[in-house]
Every structure is written in C-alpha cells, then in structure tokens.
Amino acid sequence: MEYVKPEIINLKNSSVFNEKWLQARIEEDPTILGLGELEFRDSEKIQVGGGRLDTILYDPEDKRRYEVEIQLGKTDESHIIRTIEYWDLERKKNPQYEHCAVIVAEDITSRFLNVISLFNGFIPLIAIQVKAVKIGDNISLFFTKVLDEVKFELLDEDTNSEPTNREYWEKKATKAMLKLTDSIHKKLEDVTNDYNLKYNKHYIGLEHNNIANNFISFVPRKSTVIMSFRIEKSEELDEIIDKSDLDVLSYEKQWGEYRFRLKENDLNSNFETIKKFAEIAKGEYNK
C-alpha cells in the first residue's frame, strides 16, 4: 500500500464542487455529518421574512430536527445570525419538536467559537468543519465536529401522516426490518387482529376500517424496529421495563409514548412485555 498525498479542494472557489454540490451530498446521506442515523426532511425551505433554510434533517429516535446551514469558506457573523434566526423560526413554527441548529463550514474560526460561547448554552448549536479531499480522480468529504450541542429542553413530532407504501419503507429501512414489523404485528394478533398496517411517510401505524388508530406504531430502521405505545407514564410500567432486557428509548412526553428498540430475538425473550404494553395502549387509546 503506497502513501498518496491528498489534494485539499477549496469548495468556495470551485465551480463544480460548490455549495449546492455539498448540500446534495449531505441530503442524500445525512449520516456523513456524524450526528447519527438522521433522515433528510426538507431543502431550501422558505422562511418568514425572507431567506431559505438550506436543509432540515430529522432523528426519529429522539424526535429532534436539525436546522442545517452551509457556508463555504470561513464562518462570519451574518452566517451565525442567519443560522440562529432560522432555528428560532422553525422551533416557534413547530414547537412539537426538539430543535438544534447546525453550521457546516470549511473554516470555523476561533472568533466564531468565542461569539457562540456568549450564548452560554441557551441555544443548542453544533458546528461542523468540512474538508474536501481529492485523491486521484476521486473526491471525499471529512466532517469534524468542533462544537457539540449543549442540550436544552423543548418539545417533539409532526402530525402529518402523508401516506406511502411498503416499497418506500423497504428502501428507507430494510426488507428484513419490514418482515420483523410484520412478525410483531402478526404475533400480536390477539390485540391487532382487526387492524392493518398503514404506511405513512414517517412511521407505520395502524388502521381500522380505513381509519387511523395508532395506539401502537413502528419506525423500521436499518437493523432495528422502533415500536411506540401510546400509554401514560407510570411507575408500575417503569418497573415492568426494568425487569426486562428491552432496549428502551426515552419516554416521549409530547405524545405520551413508551418506545422500544426491537430486534428479532425480542419476539421470544420479551414478547409478553410487548404484548402487555400493546393491550394497555389499545385500552387507553380507545376509551
């Protein structure tokens, strides 16, 4: 294996590898930012009072939106202000989500970091420095987080349930996780026998007589299925969870949901707990 010296590409001065090109790479594969298994939600969103928000990404596990602004070259004051303004507009318009501002730039200066420190953690903001490297006829992108989010509490998920189909979810997740969703639904037939799976853009819910009835819902991922139960939080249920070996996500306060990250072996080792939660959710939802 030979050492090859890479060529650093200045994206700001490139006519081919420009901001639109970088934005497209992020939107086609948001995981390259290093922020987790995020999903692309929106691009060039027009803001009240003018301007366009570059990209909106979403984390379905934590139900958090990331408002992403891209700047080639060095960060500057106007870019900071614009990023924070767009973050503020989005969180006010969609208070059901938790929101985080993200700046992606080629050169994140010490002055920028000093300015951000003045906010003293009141604004959740992540700064990511990007470098484009050319090796031979190939180009690669390297993203480095230079300022991590200071988390702060807001709210959470949109009620838009734009319909899709099974093929959409097989591409978005995997066929294996769609089969696992089928298996869970079928094994819960004592609870869900009158309910069909309903494929929406952001989750798979249930329907009864063509009417949505989402006392449970599913979000298939690449290697797991997130299953949510609409149940009011209680110490009794928390104790049941503690006695199981389920992979539990944080309780979703806005929608009142317990959430489990399920794998194939949970159908055997944790099925009774899953069934109990499904029964309770059905009873509470359909009171």
Q: Which domain-ending residue is among 97, 115, 147?
A: 147
Do 23 and 124 reside in the same domain of the chain?
yes
CA-derived radius of gyration, the chain? 22
pLDDT (0 to 100) of residue 152? 39
Q: Is 69 inside a domain boundary?
A: yes
Q: Which domain-ending residue is among 102, 119, 147?
A: 147
**Residue 240 is encoded by which pair of tokens?**
């049941």
Q: Is 173 inside a domain boundary?
A: yes
Q: Which domain holds residue 60?
A: 7-147
Helix spans in the chain (H): 19-28, 77-93, 110-117, 166-172, 175-187, 189-192, 235-243, 266-269, 271-285
- For the chain, how many helices (H) and strands (E)? 9, 14
Mean pLDDT of 231-252: 91
Q: Out of 17-26, 45-54, 226-235, which region has the weakest mean confidence (pLDDT)?
A: 45-54
Q: Kindly report the CATH number assigned to the domain that includes residue 78.
A: 3.40.1350.10
Mean pLDDT of 222-232: 94
- Which one has a higher pLDDT value, 49 or 247? 247
pLDDT level of residue 240 (50, 70, 90 thresholds): very high
Q: Give Cβ neighbours of residue 117 (< 8 Å, ≥ 6 apart).
A: none
Do 91 and 206 reside in the same domain of the chain?
no
Question: Does the model's pTM come out above 0.75?
Answer: no
Q: Which domain-ending residue is among 147, 178, 205?
A: 147
Q: Kindly report the CATH number assigned to the domain that includes residue 248.
A: 3.90.1150
Q: What is the pLDDT of residues 162-176, one digit of tens each?
A: 678 999 999 999 999
At how many degrees (to 10) do helices 235-243 and 271-285 cross?
A: 160
pLDDT (0 to 100) of residue 123? 80
